Every structure is written in structure tokens, then in C-alpha cells.
């Protein structure tokens, strides 16, 4: 455990926290967002976003975690490995205010689920002994920070709950030894904490000004609304956080699905005149031997992440829709009763059966529209413009 840090209340212009985040080699935008995140980490009772730092070897990935742990957790476990068993992982999460995992290369789907639940709040129950009916219950809400060169396996749901920072290949400031970084953190911590608490006291007054109505929000809405209040308390314009955070989140969301075989196939379909048809017709289209889309996209159809039926195709498309929009692949799910009123907007797209005048679908049939441009297709009970 670290010695207790007593915050020093600022008497003039804030400076210490900015000096602290300068130690992170993640660029100016990354440091500005990290500065906001370090504030929100100390707000109790809300769903938290964790963080990950990706980059080449020797670019200071662990330093970002050191800053987060210094603020969010009194322990010194900055370079822990990710426990492999569920029991060990939940034990680690339940005994920390902020978990930190170093040098990851792969996160299994089960670990991804456990870490995701931990950010928003989790409960685990286990028997005390096999000889009685006693139970132990662990309840915790623990965000995690991690780093690695590249990390495979994590679900998109995991990335929804984490901010991904990327280190610069070349340091944009002085490169310090680990000993000097530790000494600098200890030197700045009392003043940085004082500034954080000073800003949080103002953010509490601003919080009710921000609601999700009429504004863009990421999945972690409560966290984001608090971040907006913190940014205002720091003297930032109301629109600043969205202007820097939204592009970062959209890029993170796309990168989390970019290597999936279905992502590559849908991008290919959008670039080749798009598509209109039912899930069954789209499944046949993707696997058509004459078109050979899997070969064009370097996809192995035996991959367990490739859909095996029209039903599994619909389930796998749904979580990709939002992220693909940021890369100009627009997917809409509409009932034919709605879609046939927008035929003029569909000219130029490849179709399974719906020609200009024919009406070969029942009004209740649900179709997918895939396009390389955004379309105004109205709304219906099946989906919204963002796609359900």
C-alpha cells in the first residue's frame, strides 16, 4: 500500500494535474481525455469506464496505468497479469478499487464478460465449504486498466466500457526512467488530488445541467454526463468533450470489430453496389460460390465467428451496425411495408427480389439494406436508423 496522500487545496491556477498527465505518451487529445477520466474515477456509485493503452514495445504503455492507479487505488499492483481462472479474477476485482493488468495479448470471451460486468457492478456467490451450506458473496464495481501491443479476443461489449489510448511511436516529451516517473508522481500527487477535488465540487453543481436528451452519448451514459460536468468545471466549453471524445470512441468501436470475418464481408458488399434482401437471401448472397465473397475478403467460412444460418447472421450483424457507420457502411433493418415507400432512395443497390415496380415481399417481411451512403428510410417497429 502507498502512504496516505493528503490533498493540497489549490490557491491559484491549476497546474499539477496537467503536469501529471504529461507523463503519459498518448498525445495531447489522449492526455486531455485522461485528465477528465481521472476525475470521474473518484465519483462513487456510478458505472465506470476503464481504460486500455495500446502501442509498440518501449513507448510507455504502463505509465498511463500508473497514473490511473495512483489516483484511483491505493495499492501498488500496477503490473499484475490477468488471472486465468474466474475465481482468481473475481477475487482480484473485488479486492481493488481499480484493477490494473499489464502486457496483455489475449482476453477470452469469459474474461471479457467478467471485466465488463465489473465496470458496471457485479455480484459473485460461492460456497464457503463443501461440507455446509454457507456462502460467500462478493459485490464490487471495479474498473480496470490494461495495456498491450495488440489484444485479441475481447468482445465489442468489453470495448464499450473502456477508453482505448494509443501511445505515440516517438515521445513528444522527455523520456524518463521508471524511478524518475515514480518520484514525479509522488511529488505531484498531493497537488493533483487537491485540484481534482476542487473541480469535482464544482462538477456536482453542474451535473444536473447535462442530460442525454438531444445529444450524442456513448453506451456508458451516466459516466459521460459526469464527464461533461467535469469538463465544464475544468473550464472547457460545453461542446469540447464531444468534439474530441466521439471520434476517439468511434475509432475504438470500429477497431474492435475490424478483424471479424463478417465485418470484412459487409464492407465488401457495401462497396459492390450494396444489397437489399431478407436475412435468408443475404446469407445466400454472402455464401454464393459464383460471387465468392469469402475469397475476396480472405474469410474462412469455417471460422466460428462466420454465420452458419440466416438466424445467426441476424444476431451477428446487430452489434456491428453502429460501428460500421463510422466507416461509411450503413445497414438498415426495415419491414417491407415501410421500405417499399422509399424505392427511389434504393436505386443502384443490388436487390434479391424487389425490383422497381414488383411487390414480391409480404408487408411483414423484414429486409436488410446495405449501402455505402446514408439513406433516409424512415422508421418502423423493427429498428431505428442506427439499427437494432
The pLDDT of 248-254, averaged and rounded, is 91
Measured distance CA(77)–CA(87) in Å, rounded: 18
pLDDT band at 383 (very low <50, low <70, confident <90, very high): very low
- Report yes or no: 343 and 359 within 8 Å, Cβ to Cβ: no
Dist CA 187 CA 203 (whole Å): 26
CATH 3.10.450 fits 16-245, yes or no: no
What is the pLDDT at residue 241? 97
- Grade residue 175 by pLDDT with cuts at 50, 70 and 90: confident
Is the pLDDT at 137 greater than 90? The verdict is no
Tell me the three cell numbers of residue 130: 463443501
Q: What is the pLDDT of residues 333-352, one digit of tens each?
A: 999 988 888 888 888 888 87
- Which residues, 6+ apart, have CB-to-CB distance to 50 below 8 Å? 115, 119, 143, 144, 145, 146, 161, 162, 163
Q: Beta strand 275-277 with 366-371: parallel, antiparallel or unpaired?
A: antiparallel
Helix, strand, coil % (nearest 5) of the chain?
45, 15, 45
Given a cut of 90, is residue 98 above it in pLDDT? yes
Instruction: Evaluate if residue 15 carries a pLDDT over 90.
Output: yes
pTM of the model: 0.83
For the stretch 292-309, pLDDT in tens is 999 999 999 999 999 999
Q: List Cβ<8 Å contacts ≥24 apart for 74-80.
A: 74/1, 74/2, 74/4, 75/1, 75/2, 76/1, 76/2, 78/102, 79/103
Say what percent of the chain tops pLDDT 90.
Answer: 70
Q: What is the mean pLDDT of residues 148-171?
A: 90
Q: Residue 18: its pLDDT value, please?
A: 96
Query: Residue 62: left (phi > 0), alpha (psi -120 to 50), or beta?
Result: alpha
Asked whether the predicted pLDDT for residue 122 surpasses 60, the reply is yes
CB 105 within 8 A of CB 148: yes
pLDDT category of residue 380 using cuts at 50, 70 and 90: low
> Rounded to 10 degrees, what is the CA torsion of 243, 244, 250, 252?
-170
Output the CA–CA distances (angstroms, integers) from residue 368 to 143, 174, 317, in the order listed. Answer: 37, 52, 10
C-alpha dihedral, 359 to 360 to 362 to 364, nearest 10°: -90
What is the structure's pLDDT at 174?
76
- β-pairing, 275-277 with 50-54? unpaired
The pLDDT value given to residue 354: 65
Query: What pLDDT shows up at residue 357?
Result: 56
Rg of the chain, C-alpha, whole Å: 24
Model confidence at 353: pLDDT above 80: no
Distance CA 270, CA 266 (A): 6
SS3 state at 183: helix
CB 120 within 8 A of CB 141: yes
Greatest mean pLDDT among 79-88, 189-198, 245-254, 376-385: 189-198
CA distance 324 to 255: 10
> 3-state class of 171 per DSSP?
coil
Q: How much is the average pLDDT of 169-183?
A: 87
Amino acid at each position: 500500500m502507498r502512504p496516505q496522500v493528503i490533498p493540497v487545496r489549490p490557491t491559484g491556477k491549476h497546474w499539477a494535474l496537467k503536469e501529471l498527465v504529461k507523463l503519459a505518451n498518448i498525445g495531447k487529445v489522449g492526455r486531455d481525455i485522461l485528465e477528465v477520466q481521472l476525475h470521474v474515477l473518484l465519483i462513487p456509485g456510478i458505472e465506470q469506464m476503464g481504460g486500455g493503452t495500446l502501442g509498440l514495445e518501449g513507448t510507455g504503455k504502463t505509465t498511463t496505468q500508473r497514473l490511473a492507479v495512483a489516483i484511483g487505488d491505493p495499492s501498488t499492483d500496477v503490473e499484475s497479469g490477468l488471472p486465468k481462472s474466474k475465481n482468481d479474477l473475481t477475487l482480484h476485482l473485488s479486492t481493488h478499487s481499480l484493477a490494473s493488468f499489464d502486457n496483455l495479448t489475449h482476453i477470452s470471451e469469459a474474461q471479457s464478460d467478467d471485466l465488463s460486468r465489473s465496470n458496471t457492478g457485479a455480484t459473485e456467490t460461492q460456497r464457503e465449504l463443501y461440507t455446509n451450506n454457507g456462502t460467500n458473496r462478493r459485490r464490487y464495481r471495479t474498473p480496470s486498466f490494461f495495456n498491450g501491443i495488440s489484444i485479441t479476443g475481447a468482445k465489442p461489449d468489453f470495448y464499450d466500457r473502456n477508453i482505448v489510448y494509443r501511445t505515440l511511436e516517438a515521445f513528444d516529451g522527455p523520456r524518463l526512467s521508471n524511478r524518475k516517473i515514480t518520484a514525479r508522481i509522488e511529488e505531484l500527487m498531493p497537488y493533483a488530488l487537491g485540484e481534482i477535488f476542487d473541480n469535482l465540487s464544482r462538477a456536482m453543481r453542474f451535473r444536473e445541467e447535462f442530460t442525454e436528451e438531444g445529444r450524442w452519448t456513448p453506451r456508458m451514459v451516466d459516466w459521460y454526463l459526469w464527464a461533461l460536468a467535469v469538463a465544464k468545471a475544468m473550464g472547457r466549453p460545453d461542446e469540447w468533450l464531444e468534439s474530441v471524445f466521439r471520434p476517439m470512441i468511434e475509432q475504438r468501436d470500429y477497431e474492435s470489430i475490424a478483424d471479424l470475418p463478417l465485418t470484412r464481408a459487409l464492407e465488401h458488399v457495401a462497396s459492390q453496389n450494396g444489397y437489399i434482401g431478407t436475412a435468408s437471401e443475404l446469407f445466400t448472397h454472402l455464401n454464393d460460390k459464383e460471387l465468392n465473397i469469402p475469397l475476396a475478403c480472405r474469410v474462412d467460412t469455417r471460422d466460428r465467428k462466420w454465420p452458419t444460418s440466416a438466424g445467426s447472421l441476424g444476431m451477428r450483424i446487430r452489434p456491428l451496425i453502429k460501428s460500421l457507420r463510422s466507416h461509411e457502411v450503413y445497414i438498415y433493418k426495415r419491414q417491407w411495408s415501410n421500405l417499399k415507400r422509399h424505392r427511389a432512395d434504393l436505386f443502384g443497390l443490388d436487390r434479391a427480389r424487389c425490383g422497381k415496380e414488383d411487390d414480391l415481399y409480404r408487408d411483414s417481411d423484414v429486409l436488410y439494406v446495405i449501402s455505402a451512403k446514408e439513406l433516409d428510410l424512415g422508421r418502423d417497429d423493427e429498428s431505428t436508423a442506427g439499427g437494432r
